[in-house]
A and B are shown apart, each in its own frame.
Chain A
Amino acid sequence: MRQQARSMNEANTDVAAVEEQAAAWLAREDGEAWHAGLQRERDAWLAADTRHRVAWLRLRAAWRRADRLAGEYVERPAGRPVLARFSSWRMAAALVLTCGLGAALAPTLGWQQGVRHATAIGENRTIALADGSRLTLNTATRLRTSPGAARKVWLDSGEAWFDIAHDPAHPFVVEAGNSRVTVLGTRFTVRRDGPSTTVLVEQGRVRVTGSGERGESVELTRHQEATASAGRIVLAEHTDAQLEQRLAWREGRIVFDGATLAEAVAEFNRYNERKLVVNDAQAAALRIGGSFAPTNVDGFVRLLEQGFGLQARRGSRDIVLSH
C-alpha cells in the first residue's frame, strides 16, 4: 500500500494518468477497506496539485450522478431483438453445435461441411477455435472454418480480431478474398471493405500476401498496418493510442480522433440498419472526436445537432444530416 500511495502522490501532468489516479482513489473510498490513514494520503494527493483536485471533483460528480440509476436500469438481454430476424444466425449457431459432434465423427463419416460464423449488423461475438485461438467478430461479418484445416479460416466479409494460439510448427492462415494472412501466434485484426483488406497487428509478427501477380508480401510487426487492394499493399504505422482506438470495437466502442464526419458516418453505418447520410460537403468535412457506442445512432445524431448545429431529417430507413 505504501508503494502504491507513493506512486499515486507523484504529480503527474498527463491528463489520462491523473484521471486514472483520481478514479483509483474514488473507487477505493467507495469500498469497505477505506480508513483514516488512506484518507490522509488521499487528501495529501489532492492538495499536491490542482490538477489532481479538479480531476477528482469531476469524477466524483459523475459517480454521484450515477446514483440516479438506482433501480432504473434494465440490462438489455444478451440476444438482441435484431437477431430474431436473422435466421442465418440461428443456423450458424446450430452448425456450431452440430460441428462439436461433427469434429468427433468426421473421420468416420467423411464430414466435409465447415462451420460458418455470421454476425448481424450491430452484433459483436467471440468464438473459440479448436486449436485454442480466439476470434471476435465485429458487425456484419461472415467467417468460415473447415474441418480439414484446423489452422485456417476464411473471412468473407466484415472484420475480425484474432488471438492466435502459438504453434510454430503450424502457421495460422486467414484467407481474405485475394489477400492471405499468415501467422504463428499473435494478435491482430483483419477487416474487409469491398476489394480491400486491412491487417492491423497488435502483437507478434504477421505476413500479408497480396493479390499481385508476383504474390508480393510484407511482414508486419506490432502497431503496423497493411492495406492490400488491387495488387498493391500500403503500409502504415500506429501509436499505442491509435491502436487502442482502432480496436475499441471489441469493447463495444468506436473511437474517432479528428475523423471527418463523412468517415465517422461510414463507420456508424457498418453497425446500423438505419443509415446516416451527409449530403452537404461542408458538414461532411467537420472533424469528429470522441468515443461512441456504435449502435447508438440517435445519441450520435443528437450530439451533432447540439454540438455542431447540424440539422437532422429522420426517416424510417435513414437520417439525413445537413447544415
Chain B
Amino acid sequence: MFNHLDDWFTEEVLPLEGILMRYLRQNWRDSAEWPDLRQEVYVRVYEAARSGLPERTAPFVLATARNLLIDRARRTQVVSIDAYAELDDLSVCELTPERHASGRAELNALVEALDSLPARCREAVVLRKVDGMSQREVAAEMGIAEDTVEKQLAKGMRAIAAALSARGIGAGIVKLERKLRKQGQ
C-alpha cells in the first residue's frame, strides 16, 4: 500500500510547507481558503508525480501553487488576473531557511506546539511521546478510557502539524541533519 511516492512526498514535499504557505499568504488574500489551497496543491503535486517525479521538487510545488491560484482567480473572478502577474517571480533563494533549520529549532517548534495545547490534550501527548507510554498506559495514568486518549492524541496531532506548518513538515529531518553533517565534513 505504501510506496516510493509516499516517501518522496513525505521527505521532499512536506518539508516545503512553510515556503508553500508563505507563497499562498502573499498571493491569496482570503486566509480562510489557505488550508484548502494547500490541500489542493498537495493533491495536484501527488497526482502529477504518479507519472514521474519532478526533477526539482520546490520549483515544481510552487509552480503548481501558482497554476492553482490562477485557476481559482479565473473561476471566482474575485480578483483580476493582472494581480497575479508577479506570481511568475518564484524566487528560489527563498528556499533556504527551512533547509537549514537546526535540530534545536525543530525541537523548539515542537515544544511551542506542546505548550499551546489544551491541558488534557497536552498531558496525553506528553505521556505518549515524551515519556514513551503506550496508549493503554496513558489511559491508565490519566484515569480515562483508551478511546478518549485516542481522541486527544488525534487532536494533538493536528495541532502539532499546524504548529510545524510554518517551518515545513517532514519526516526527513534526521536525514537532512545527516546530509548537512556530511557536507560539513
- Taking CB atoms and an 8 Å cut-off, the chain A residues in 114-140 that contact chain B are none
Q: Which chain B residue has the least Cβ–Cβ distance from A32? A: B136
Expressed in whole angstroms, the minimum distance between the Cβ of B157 and any Cβ of chain A is: 5
- Taking CB atoms and an 8 Å cut-off, the chain A residues in 135-189 that contact chain B are none
Asked whether A30 lies within 8 Å of B135 as measured between CB atoms, the reply is yes
Interface residues on B, range: 35 or more
Q: A31-B146, A68-B106, A258-B30 are in contact. Are A58 and B47 (CB under 8 A)?
A: no
Asked if B97 CB lies within 8 Å of chain A CBs, one says yes
A interface, by DSSP: helix, strand, loop or mixed? Answer: helix
- Taking CB atoms and an 8 Å cut-off, the chain A residues in 50-72 that contact chain B are 50-51, 53-55, 57-72
Q: Which of A13-21, A103-111, A310-318 contacts B (4 or more CB under 8 A)?
A: A13-21
Asked if A257 CB lies within 8 Å of chain B CBs, one says yes
Residues of A within 8 Å of B22, CB to CB, are 306-307
Residues of B within 8 Å of A257, CB to CB, are 31-32
Q: A50-B47, A73-B114 are in contact. Are A30 and B153 (CB under 8 A)?
A: yes
CB-CB contacts of B99-135 with A at 8 A, as 1s and 0s? Answer: 0000100110011101111100010011011101011
Asked if B88 CB lies within 8 Å of chain A CBs, one says no
Q: How many Å lie between the Cα of A19 and that of B146 in the bound state?
A: 21
Expressed in whole angstroms, the minimum distance between the Cβ of B170 and any Cβ of chain A is: 6
Asked whether B25 lies within 8 Å of A27 as measured between CB atoms, the reply is no
Asked if A204 CB lies within 8 Å of chain B CBs, one says no
Asked if A287 CB lies within 8 Å of chain B CBs, one says yes
Q: A31-B150, A257-B31 are in contact. Are A69 and B42 (CB under 8 A)?
A: no
Q: A32-B134, A54-B9, A54-B39 are in contact. Are A23 and B171 (CB under 8 A)?
A: no
- Taking CB atoms and an 8 Å cut-off, the chain B residues in 150-170 that contact chain A are 150-151, 153-155, 157-158, 160-162, 164, 166, 169-170
Asked whether B129 lies within 8 Å of A69 as measured between CB atoms, the reply is yes
Asked whether A59 lies within 8 Å of B153 as measured between CB atoms, the reply is no
Contact partner of A293 (CB less than 8 A), chosen from B18, B97, B115, is: B115
Asked whether A58 lies within 8 Å of B129 as measured between CB atoms, the reply is no
Residues of A within 8 Å of B17, CB to CB, are 58
Expressed in whole angstroms, the minimum distance between the Cβ of A5 and any Cβ of chain B is: 15
- Taking CB atoms and an 8 Å cut-off, the chain A residues in 1-25 that contact chain B are 15-16, 18-20, 23-24
- Taking CB atoms and an 8 Å cut-off, the chain A residues in 287-305 that contact chain B are 287, 289, 291-293, 296, 299, 303
Contact partner of B31 (CB less than 8 A), chosen from A73, A287, A293, is: A287
Residues of B within 8 Å of A73, CB to CB, are 110-111, 114, 126, 130
Residues of B within 8 Å of A241, CB to CB, are 32
Asked whether A53 lies within 8 Å of B46 as measured between CB atoms, the reply is yes
Asked whether B114 lies within 8 Å of A69 as measured between CB atoms, the reply is yes
Asked whether B25 lies within 8 Å of A307 as measured between CB atoms, the reply is yes
Asked whether A18 lies within 8 Å of B39 as measured between CB atoms, the reply is yes
Expressed in whole angstroms, the minimum distance between the Cβ of A73 and any Cβ of chain B is: 5
Contact partner of A54 (CB less than 8 A), chosen from B43, B146, B166, is: B43
Expressed in whole angstroms, the minimum distance between the Cβ of B155 and any Cβ of chain A is: 7
CB-CB contacts of A21-51 with B at 8 A, as 1s and 0s? Answer: 0011011101111000000000100110011
Asked whether B171 lies within 8 Å of A16 as measured between CB atoms, the reply is no
Q: A50-B47, A54-B43, A293-B115 are in contact. Are A32 and B158 (CB under 8 A)?
A: no
Q: How many Å lie between the Cα of A26 and that of B125 in the bound state?
A: 14
Can you list 16 pairs linking A and B with CB atoms under 8 Å apart? A15-B35, A20-B154, A24-B154, A32-B146, A53-B46, A57-B9, A61-B169, A62-B157, A65-B106, A65-B170, A69-B130, A75-B126, A252-B116, A257-B31, A292-B116, A306-B18
Other A-B contacts than A23-B155, A23-B158, A24-B154, 13 sampled, CB-CB below 8 A, are: A20-B154, A23-B154, A26-B157, A27-B150, A27-B151, A31-B146, A50-B46, A55-B39, A65-B160, A68-B106, A75-B122, A287-B31, A306-B18
Residues of B within 8 A of A (CB): 1, 6, 9-10, 14, 17-18, 21-22, 25, 29-32, 34-36, 38-39, 42-43, 46-47, 97, 103, 106-107, 110-112, 114-118, 122, 125-126, 128-130, 132, 134-136, 146, 149-151, 153-155, 157-158, 160-162, 164, 166, 169-171, 173
10 shortest interchain CB distances as A-B pairs: A289-B31, A62-B161, A293-B116, A23-B154, A54-B42, A27-B154, A31-B135, A251-B118, A27-B153, A27-B150
